[in-house]
Amino acid sequence: MSCLAIGLALSLHIGMEHDYNEFHPYVTCEKEKVMAGMYLNSMDKVSVFGAYKLNLSEDLILDVGLVTGYFKEVVPMARLRYKQIFVMPAVEKEGTGLVLGVQFDF
Rounded to an integer, the average pLDDT of 18-31 is 95
Q: Contact 54/26 with Cβ under 8 angstroms?
A: no
| Amino acid 18: pLDDT | 87
Domain that holds residue 51: 4-105
What are φ and ψ of residue 101, in 5° steps?
-155, 175
| Amino acid 1: pLDDT | 57
Q: Contact 42/99 with Cβ under 8 angstroms?
A: yes
| Amino acid 71: pLDDT | 87
Number of domains in the chain: 1
Sequence-ordered list of residues with C-beta below 8 angstroms from that of 38, at least 6 positions apart, any chain? 26, 27, 46, 47, 48, 49
Predicted confidence band at 92 (pLDDT cuts at 50, 70, 90)? confident
| Amino acid 2: pLDDT | 77
Which pLDDT tens digit goes with each residue over 32-90?
999 999 999 999 999 999 999 999 999 999 999 999 999 889 999 999 999 999 999 99
Q: Contact 88/39 with Cβ under 8 angstroms?
A: no
